A and B are shown apart, each in its own frame.
Chain A
């Protein structure tokens, strides 16, 4: 499904700005991986680099998704192949309605994959049922995308998009941040409902909270741009109990 090899990345045109320093990761179909790490370890950078954000450049290494390198692929092409990023801070887009936006997104994906587009009627049916499923307030769907949404509503809206676009690999960037218990349950229910033998997830998170609701198969700890340890759920429990101190002491570069 996904194979990341020795990935180095930095902010475009920034000297000494390397953030990912040789990250390697393999995700098989159906697996749920958690990437945990302290602030500044490169978690969000990794999520954004996977999705193809052009603020970052990959200086070495490769990302192979579904058997092909996607380093040269634009974000929309990656989405067509089945990659999805749930944003930590979803953009507010004035004047663009969620329905219109998701119809365009799904149409583009179908078109790119030589599939038939849904009729307005069929799409509306799908949309309404998913709105219901992720329990997002239907009134919000009349507004501009994410405009005036609370933090929790934005995250639910990401889950709505996830549910409609049905990616094969979903990367959730700190989706648990700023969520109350109810919102956390809705996010995790949405993810759990979508778990299947051919769909994988990467949960990028600082805390173990979300992992109580979504059981990961593999847990990685990211420190200073590298995955420094890999294990099972017990690793997440260690982080919850003891924090990142041990990992930082063992793996962070010695300060000058």
Chain B
């Protein structure tokens, strides 16, 4: 049998790029550059030497194109609280199929915070966006940043004023509507946090369709000196879809960027986070929980670069793997020459519920400064029989005991999702997910 090579899918993305002519003039240069870069890079491959993509095979992107989603409408906002973490008090921007929906959004202009679509942004704000957009998530960074930059429909600017301390979280809710298969969505968020500001930002991704879709989000956070940003990322995908997300932040002196993620669902998911501690005394905490089941694949590419002294970084991820699923944790900490008194920690703990599940975990430290305190570790294990016996000896049956242990394993990360409606939403999700995990009869 002979097979002919599938026609390159790149042409179809190019059609989307060319079709997309309503882009604002001031963005067109960046988007054109991004397209050129994407054409050069193409989709990543697992070929030898490509360490960044060693364990994540994207060949299906070569045989199946995903095209820009047409604008979809959503019914009343009452539904939102059923499908996503939600509070009427939050500053919520709702993005449907990559397009900002002002009607469903709430409290987007308040004291200390403003959320707006790039397209509707006044000249004065545009001058703030232009120098930052694409400077942290650069089009040369990876093919998906390039693709997102070339094709995003609405870009969202979240601006937090100098010294502002927000009482309520900012929530960017990204929804893939129920609709035709093989659509592509490119959510783009630029966050500019003023100096000494303090805010919580939630990015959530929900997919209402059951067919294969492609979501390629990019989140860029530019922090002012002394700013403290707590970022939460919730990725809830369907098992046929691909989700390839990029998060980039840069922190000047004393700025703190903490990000905790919850990722589950997709055929292929990638959570690529990089924080750049550019000046002295910056801090970052990158935590996450991934739950994989069936044939799903979740890749966590987590990295921090320490440029200057007295920086602190913590990476702590936990994984629950079932069925024939696979997950990757690739944690990197790079300590540049001169970044003395750096404190860095990396940890990845995994609970394997089946023999077919596989974790590739690779915490790594690259240190070019001599006065530092760095540690790393990774584990993978099965449900602990001593713990199981302890719970059972008190009268809890095997299944409930196992469920309690698996849920308990997740709790440590979920408890970090501080806004209560968000945490409760995730606990409900967890209660739905855990019994469905294919654990060879443990659960």
Contact = CB atoms under 8 A, between A and B. Distances in A.
Contacts of B396: 76, 101, 104-105, 108
A91 B396 CA distance: 15
B410 A52 contact: no
B415 to A, nearest CB: 8
Query: Which of B395, B405, B410: most chain A CB closer than 10 A?
Result: B395
Given A93-B387, A94-B411, A95-B412, A108 B405 contact: no
Contacts of B405: 93, 96
B384 interface: yes
A104 B400 contact: yes
A232 interface: no
A108 B389 contact: no
B393 interface: yes
Interface in A224-256: none
B73 interface: no
Contacts of B389: 51, 53-54, 75, 91
B30 interface: no
Given A96-B404, A144-B408, A105 B395 contact: yes
Given A95-B410, A96-B404, A144-B408, A108 B397 contact: yes
Interface residues of A, number: 31
Given A53-B389, A55-B385, A76 B398 contact: yes
A91 B390 contact: yes
Interface in A203-237: none
A93 B408 contact: yes
A76 B395 contact: yes
B408 A96 contact: yes
Nearest to B404: A96
Nearest to A144: B408
B395 to A, nearest CB: 4
B398 A74 contact: yes
B392 A91 contact: no
Interface string A96-135: 1000011011101100100000000000000000000000
B386 interface: yes
Interface string B388-428: 01111111111011001101111110000000000000000
A80 interface: yes
A90 B391 CA distance: 10
The interface centre, meaning the residue of B387, B391, B393, B398 with most chain A CB atoms within 10 A of its CB, is B393
Nearest to B411: A95
B99 to A, nearest CB: 39
B323 to A, nearest CB: 22
A202 B391 CA distance: 21
A79 B391 contact: no
Contacts of B391: 93, 96, 101, 105
A144 B394 CA distance: 16
A161 interface: yes
A85 interface: yes
A81 to B, nearest CB: 10
A72 B87 CA distance: 51
A54 B401 CA distance: 15
Contacts of B393: 51-53, 75-76, 78-79, 84-85, 87
A84 B395 CA distance: 9
Nearest to A55: B385
Contacts of B394: 76, 79, 84, 101-102, 105, 161, 165
9 tightest CB-CB pairs across the interface, nearest first? A95-B408, A95-B411, A79-B395, A105-B394, A75-B392, A91-B390, A96-B408, A108-B395, A109-B395
Interface of A: 51-55, 74-76, 78-80, 84-85, 87, 90-91, 93-96, 101-102, 104-106, 108-109, 112, 144, 161, 165
